[in-house]
Structure 1
Amino acid sequence: MPPTVAVIGTCDTKLEALLFIKRTIQSTAVCEAILIDIGSYPPSDLCDIDIPRSDVLKECTSTVHDTSSRSQALETMTIALTQLLARLHSTQSIAGVIGAGGSGNTSVCTKAFRDALPIGFPKLMLSTMASGERCPLWMAKHSLIRADLKSSRPTIAVSMFGLTTPCVQVATQKLEELGYSVMAFHATGAGGLAMERLVREGHFVGVLDITTTELADELVGGVLTAGPRRLEAAARCGIPQVVSVGALDMVNFGPADTIPKQFQGRLFCHHNSSVTLMRTSREECSKLGQIMVEKLKGAPTDKTRVILPLQGFSGIDKDKGPFRDAEADGALLDALKSGLLCPVEELGVNINDPSFALRVAQALHELLLDSRL
């Protein structure tokens, strides 16, 4: 029997990409591959998942923690995955592991890999949160990205983050139904830089910039900044864009002990073992609104829409969420509404509400149709 590689990720959000990895491994005829789901929810299609999340969680023989919060859910899944991989390794059922995903998946997989598998066992982590300078890696992959963009469908760029994923998923599905190909960029610094560059090079017909959180890191000093030119390419190129305020309620830092001392006393949220989020203040939010106004001044007003969620900018900036701060959000919204030249829409929902996602997708479609006339 050929050796088996375990492909591990969150199938509720990354199923298509994980299946691509699995099938690519199988196509070599050198290795077999199994897919292990460590997502938060069961995906709609289970037929290609070899070990579903429910079976992974059965491995958690220790006390199962309350999973009502994201960090607690990740801790429980880490324990379960560690025990599953240890068992698969002891029975020689796997010969290597590949984890692929965002910061949450990276946190779970890397700890499980360290604790369950010995030094020398083949381990690979494909992550939007790779440590160190990530830009060379993105640019090295540039030719591959360019090949992916050669589609019979017009291609749209969309920015996403773990805490805006529900919005991006619904919007992506709607855009695909409308006949577009959608390429997602994680707003982790390198992702924003890559998106801006590819927009400048003319690879997209439009941009759905839902998640502009990298602006907050650039302003405040977080670790996921995309530099001072973020949110400028679409405006300069004059292509249709719909912009929102996804995850501008937060600044990203590493583990808690790495946070600069000047931020002591601020409100923090433990996202996972690698990421600590800091709530943006009222003053910072007001400044972010002014920055966005300045960046969008040169954008064609007939090709630009800003759509604002009035009930929170992320999955934790919602009713009873740890980052819900209507005053701080209001400062950002007021700065935008008072300064923008392009049309602004307001929806009385959280950014992850399906109605918001459908509206931003439809708005971009309308702009694209108008631009063809």
Structure 2
Amino acid sequence: MRHRRNLAPVSSAEPFRARRILVIGTLDTKGGEVGFLKEQIERRGHRTVVMDIGILGQLALPADISRQEVVRASGMSLQEALDAGDRQRAVNIVIEGARRKAEELNAAGKLDGIIALGGGTALFMGTAVMQALPIGVPKLVLSSMVSGDVNRFVGGKDITLMQSVADIVGLNPVTRDILARAAGAICGMVEVEVGDALAPVETSGRTSLLIAVTAFGITTPCSRYAAQELEEKGMKVREGGDALTSWDI
């Protein structure tokens, strides 16, 4: 069963609670940058779980979830793919293992948010991992490749994309600033408990039905009319576009 976030809104009087944030990156090429992001998150009082989704080079930063663990979780052989020179298959193996590890953390209630950083690899692999997580788990990708058509990466999930402006290659005043702001963004996201927007509500002592209504452009007036009619009958309505069809309700 997938872990759902707390239904109660956070009160300003409630004590601070450290959240667990999954940080994913290629530690052979982005170890220093991942390390800086990890440090920035932890300075804000939260815990990090670093997962390595690299394939080849030597690690520049120790991982909490190593690439070996990630590959084992996939149930496939990375070495066979590498020996055959099939890099795309190797990448897919790592993605599958990373998705399963993220799902395990979420199912155990040990995941409050996830962030990935890098270039095209972070966008492709990071969002693929995030697609395995339910709506409501904060998801942030910091990448230099998010200014184009990103529909295939985001799909129907609540994935937030942040433009890094500069390539995330080494630490300098620009990358330090953007990494620190990305850390602040994911920390702010996990600190907010907005509740489960899909949970049925109690109406006059009974649980109301939840109806999903999709709309597109010129059909919006019709869908709004239908939604109002349903709400008057005591039902709860969630309206959306194409992304609504992929919701895990």
What TM-score do you get using the length of structure 2 for normalisation?
Answer: 0.50
Q: Which has the higher contact order (CA 8 A, sep 6+)?
A: 2
What TM-score do you get using the length of structure 1 for normalisation?
Answer: 0.34
